[in-house]
Amino acid sequence: MDNKSSVLGKGLSAIFSEKNVDVSSLSRSEEGNNLSREIELSRIKVNPLQPRDDFDEEKLKELAESIRLNGIIQPVTVKESGGDYMLISGERRVRASKLIGLEKIPAYVYQKPADTNDSLLELALIENIQREDLNPMELSDSYQRLVNEYNLTQEQIAERVSKQRSTVANLLRLQKLPVEIKISLRKNEITEAHARRLLVIDNPEDQLILWKRIVTENISVKNLEDMTKSSVKKPRKKKVRLGEIYDPYIQSLEDKLRNFFGTKVTINRKSKFSGEIVIEFYSSEDIERISDKIE
């Protein structure tokens, strides 16, 4: 079995061992005991590299009730920082504990001083990527941060998180989507398969039109594949009509018709005063819907 497979799912131990970090110091107190300590919640600062921005309130309440009844079984992990503590992992437990009014929480304190704060934050981000139930957009954002802030290549990211490079590359491609679609994916309104299929469409405006239909009409991935078969990316040609640069007024009309019909519309001029309007459809339901619009 290769190294990637052997570290999959091992969390901090596997990740830190790759960076020569003494993981045992994560659970050692200053006296060397293999115990956690009680730390005031007010002194624990949220990790700025936490990949999850949105936390399900209902699930947090459920976790809070569990903590109220059973206590915190798994301490959080922190590092001393400026007299307070930087959270490495366990933000859900911290948030849930605050909901029920706890003042202190058990925590493992990472003691090794040789690592820089930047290095530790990178490790914290990778740890969260492996341990948290992140959706595809949250993972994509996390990988992009590793690229932007730590100059990691796709190969290096794949090695650190025990994934195939192609998996990392596909998630990073989601960064090319319009912001509205990214938000929708983050909210789980559409699936990663929907989002990746939208990427075969060149025009962001067309992507948005089709995305709105996915959300409002509950279009399946299979139907979406059928609808976008003719939209596989091809080299864009410069739009020229009658020997002149394409008229922006025509482009504006196309945009209005696309928004009205909810599908791709193209205006083709054949002469100065004639041409054709092409309204595309992808199913029998599309024809009915377009017909209703015309009526």
The tens digit of pLDDT for each residue in 103-122 reads 999 998 877 654 555 566 66
Domain that holds residue 57: 3-173
Question: Is 211 in the same domain as 199?
Answer: yes
Q: Which helix (H) or strand (E) holds 110?
A: strand 104-110
Higher-confidence residue of 45 and 241: namely 45
Cα(56)–Cα(140) distance, rounded to whole angstroms? 19
Residues 6+ apart with CB under 8 A from 63: 92, 93, 96
pLDDT band at 34 (very low <50, low <70, confident <90, very high): very low
Is residue 226's pLDDT more than 90? no
Residues 6+ apart with CB under 8 A from 279: 257, 261, 263, 264, 265, 290
Q: What is the pLDDT of residue 243?
A: 37
In a domain, 154, yes or no: yes
Q: What is the pLDDT of residue 121?
A: 61
- C-alpha pair distances (Å), 292 with each of 161, 193, 285, 295: 50, 30, 11, 5
Question: Is 136 in the same domain as 210?
Answer: no
Question: Is 209 in the same domain as 280?
Answer: no
**Residue 17 half-sphere exposure, CB side, CA atoms within 13 Å?**
11
> What is the SS3 assignment for 277?
strand
Is residue 17's pLDDT more than 50? no
pLDDT band at 232 (very low <50, low <70, confident <90, very high): low
Question: Is 194 in the same domain as 151?
Answer: no
In a domain, 72, yes or no: yes
**Residue 245 half-sphere exposure, CB side, CA atoms within 13 Å?**
2
Q: Based on the structure, what is the number of domains in the chain?
A: 3
Domain CATH for 17:
3.90.1530.10
Active site residue 254: no
Q: What is the pLDDT of residue 88?
A: 80
In a domain, 259, yes or no: yes
Question: Is 243 in the same domain as 229?
Answer: no
Q: What is the pLDDT of residue 292?
A: 81
In a domain, 75, yes or no: yes
Please check whether residue 290 is in contact with residue 281, taking contact to mean a CB–CB distance below 8 angstroms.
Answer: yes
Q: What is the pLDDT of residue 22?
A: 43
Question: Is 32 in the same domain as 62?
Answer: yes
Question: Is 91 in the same domain as 133?
Answer: yes
Cα(69)–Cα(46) distance, rounded to whole angstroms? 25
Question: Is 216 in the same domain as 142?
Answer: no
Say what the pTM is.
0.53
Q: Are strands 104-110 and 76-81 parallel, antiparallel or unpaired?
A: parallel
Question: Is 249 in the same domain as 211?
Answer: no
In a domain, 124, yes or no: yes
- Mean pLDDT over each residue of the chain, to the nearest integer: 77
In a domain, 261, yes or no: yes
Active-site residue, from 38, 91, 280, 295: 91
Which neighbouring-strand residues pair with 45? 86
Cα(197)–Cα(83) distance, rounded to whole angstroms? 49
Question: Is 243 in the same domain as 225?
Answer: no
Q: Which pair of structure tokens corresponds to residue 56?
A: 């399900």
Question: Is 58 in the same domain as 164?
Answer: yes
